[in-house]
Structure 1
Amino acid sequence: MHDFSSSGALAPSQRRMRRTTAEIRALILESARVLFAERGFSGATTRHIAARAEVAEPLIFNNFGSKSTLFVEAVIEPFNARFSEFLAHSGELPPDREQRSAHFVHALYPFLRDNADLLLALVKSNGEMEAATLHGLDDYFSRAVARMRDQYELAALQFDVPPELIVRYAFGMLAGAVLFRDWFFPDDAPEEDVAEGALARMLFKASEPRKP
């Protein structure tokens, strides 16, 4: 009579569940996002990313092809997704410039505040990226410029500051307000609604059309 109690078979709880491709990609993306924010592009090696995600390093390349592509998907694409959502709804807004400035800030500033790690990843990777990756936000900038030009043309307005600069510096203003908040206001920081209102007003004034 055989005693199966001591067989080498693992109990279900001891066997590692096989993970789907989607689960593996999600683990890698989450790990990459954290480490790019902590160490920048160069400092976050694929070995470190794989170890944190608890996956084999070759799976990074199997799923993303390259470290640069992984950076784009982990860091750049969340920006583009949010910006695309903003642009999709901005066409439904009334033509009033002040309302549009407020909508831009209210739509994007909380997103940047809640995803400050993405901004840190950009800052810490400055000077380390390939040229193609540096153009990761170009689609949003181009579409935003085109949208501004259409709005000003419909209202028969002339730009005082080129829209190519407005859309980029507007993003920079919101990003700076997030990244340097503790330095700007080590004590008695304004309430978020006050901060958003001030940023919206500054953007509105900065984008004023040329006086006739």
Structure 2
Amino acid sequence: MDDDNHSAAWRHIAATGDATLATACRACLQDLDVDCLGVTLVVGDDLRILGHATDDRAERLEDAQLVAGEGPCTDAYVQRALVEEADLPSAFERWPAFVQTAVEQGMRSAMALPLLVGNLRVGALDLYRAAPGPFTARQKDRALAYARVLALLALDEHPHLLTDEPGPPRPGPQGYPPSVHVAAGILAEKHRLTPDDALARLRAHAFHHNQPLLQTVARVLTHHTLD
């Protein structure tokens, strides 16, 4: 059955276009009948990049998990397992900041899967739906097949994912783009903060003002201040 799902995933991708990360995401979106999806890639547990988002809602949800350090993406990546929430509002205690953003974006259920190539973790696939309710067994099996394909396509488009050494597992958000660390360094020097405290201040400001983390970072890099 796994081979059947894997072959079916490849057929849907081929029917959609060339085998790229973006094309595979579109095929997955249509095949699994979800409203939007995002792929986040992680390098050595120290660098997180957006692999692909099918629309602005998915991009906002991926960023929300980076800002908050919580959500199905992080859990699936850390646990190396499928993570599902059939009714996101009921998961508020588990992921308070992420759930707030998800509800604002009109999403009521989510499923995340790690992107694995052997023992190598390269990121996570996040599937979002506007309707509440559990995903079917067919959707889960097919999503696992797409996750295998997406992991390979991610390595093809981002070969540096193979060359960075993974760090030890740790809680919270798994990595930030380099610009985030630069901005945190600016705040740390200006306000005599530790790097972790400066990073926390960046995240708190982005969450409080309901803006993408990289928008907050851009302001710090330009003006050397959050204000």
TM-score after normalising by structure 2: 0.26
Report the structure, 1 or 2, having the larger strand content. 2
- Please identify the structure whose Cα radius of gyration is greater: 1
